Structure 1
Amino acid sequence: MSEPYEVKFRLSRLRNSVPRARALLHSVLGDWDIGQETGEVAELILSELVTNALRVRVPNGRLVGVRIARLLDEGVLRLEVSDAGDGKPEVRKPEEDETCGRGLLLVEALAHRWGYERRSCGIGKTIWAELKAPELKAADLVSARDGAEVAACTVRAGQSVWVRGAWHLVRSVDTQQQASGGLTVVLRFDDGSVARVDAAEPLIVRAPNATP
C-alpha cells in the first residue's frame, strides 16, 4: 500500500483544540521528515487558522476540520481549516492597542499563498495556506529516481507512472483530440483514478514488474 500524502482530523470547539492541532501537525511533519524551519512556520499558521475557526459563530455541535497535505510535485505543504460559518475571511490591520485581529495578517505574511473556498458538501468554508517545502520536492525526486523520463504519448498499459507524488500502475491508455489540434493522453490506473496530460508532457515511468 502506498504511503498516504494527507492527514485529516476534526477538532471540538474547545480552547485546547489549538495546542492539540499543533501537536498533531508536529507529529505528522516529523513522520514526513519536514525540516524544523518549515515546521515551525506551519505550526504558527495552523494555530492562527484554527483560532479563527473557533471564533466563528456556528450551530451547536459543529466541529472544525483540519487537512494537512503534501504536494510532492510542487514541493508544497498545504494546510486547510474548515468551519461551518458564513462570511468572507478578510485581512485586517488592527490598531496598536488591539489584542486580536492579526491572524490572517500573519498568515498572509508567512504563507507562500493562501485563500478560501466554499465547502462543496455542507455549509461553511475552508481557509487554506501553502508553504514552500524544498525537502518535499527532494523526496519526490529520490522516489522517482529508478524510473525513466518519456513523453506521455509513449506510455503503455502495464507500466507504472509517477503522478501526484506516487507510483500508479497504468491499466489503459487513450488519446483525445484537443480543440487546438494537439493530443491529450488519458491514463487510467488500476486504483480507478484517471490522469489527463498533454501528449508531449514528460512523465517518469517504470517497467512492468519493477521493484517499488
Structure 2
Amino acid sequence: MNALEHAAGVRLAGSLPTGAPTVGGRSELRSPRLRRELVLAALDESVAEARRFARDTVALWALDASVVQDVPLVVSELVTNSIRHNSGPSVDFSVLVRVELAREVLAVGVSDPHPGRPVPRAPDSEATHGRGLLLVDAFCDEWIVVPTPDGGKQVCAFWTLPAVSDAALCSALFVPIAD
C-alpha cells in the first residue's frame, strides 16, 4: 500500500502488467479499482464492526442508495456464518472482510481459514436462525464460494452497478476516512 492509498484508507488493486501500453514513455494506468479490507477476530461483536465497515465503505464511494442498504446486510450475514459455523471452545481465528469496486461491479468477500462450504438451508418457520444465505441470495446479484491458498474459503457476493467513471473511482481516494 502506498502513502496515498494508506491516507485514503483504500488500496488500488492490481499492478501494471509487464509490457503494458505506454503513452509518452509512461505506462497507461488500467481502470482503477478501489479496495478496502478489515481483519476481525472471530467474535460475535465483530459482526457489528464488519457491518459498519461495509456501510461506511459503500457510502464513501457514493454508490446507489439500495447498495448502501444491501451491502452491510450481506456482510453481516457472511461474517455471522463464518463465526458461527467455524468456531468452538478452543478455536481462535480471524475473518477478513474485503470490499472492492471495479467499474460496474461491487464485490464483497469474507474469508476464513476453514474449508467448510456454506450451504443454504430450506426455510423452517419455527427456526430462529438459518436464513442467512437466503438473505444473501436475495440481496446480491450473485454469490460464490472459492477456496483460498491457505485451505480456507472466501464467500464472495457481487452487485452489478451502473458504470462508474475513472474520475468517480479516483475521487473516492481523496475523501478522508474517519477512523
In the superposition, the TM-score normalised over structure 2's length comes to 0.70
Q: 1:125 corresponds to which residue?
A: 153
**Residues paired across the two proteins, number:** 139
Distance in 1 separating the partners of 2:59 and 2:124: 37
1:86 positional shift: 2.6
Tell me by how many angstroms 1:25 deviates.
Answer: 1.4
Unpaired runs of at least 5, structure 1: 145-164, 167-212
Code of the aligned partner of 1:84? P
Q: For residue 137 of structure 2, what is the aligned residue in structure 1?
A: 108
Match of 1:71 among 95, 98, 102: 102
Quick one: which of 71, 84, 92 aligns to 1:61? 92
Residues 1-212 of structure 1: pairs in structure 2 closer than 5 A: 4=12, 5-58=34-87, 60-72=91-103, 75-120=104-149, 122-134=150-162, 137-140=163-166, 143=167
- Conservation of the 8 A alpha-carbon contact between 2:98 and 2:108: yes
TM-score by length of 1: 0.60
Normalized per residue, the structure richer in strand is: 1
Rounded to whole Å, the distance in 1 between the matches of 2:38 and 2:67 is: 21
Query: For the residues of structure 2 that align with 1:92 and 1:60, how far apart are their CA atoms?
Result: 25
How far apart are the structure 1 equivalents of 2:102 and 2:76?
21
Structure with more contact order per residue of length (Cα contacts < 8 Å, sep ≥ 6):
2
Q: Cα RMSD (Å) of the superposition?
A: 2.1
Contact 1:12 1:64 in 2 (8 A): yes
Flag the structure with higher helix content.
Answer: 2
Measure, in 1, the Cα distance between the counterparts of 2:125 and 2:102. Answer: 37
Is 1:94–1:100's contact at 8 Å kept on the other side of the alignment? Answer: no
Moved over 2 A (4+): 1-4, 56-61
Unpaired runs of at least 5, structure 2: 13-33, 171-179
Give the Cα–Cα distance (whole angstroms) in 1 for the partners of residues 67 and 117 of structure 2: 27
Computing the radius of gyration from Cα coordinates, the structure with the larger value is 1
Letter in 1 for 2:85: V
In 2, Cα distance between equivalents of 1:112 and 1:57 = 26
The percentage of counterpart residues that share the same residue type is: 31
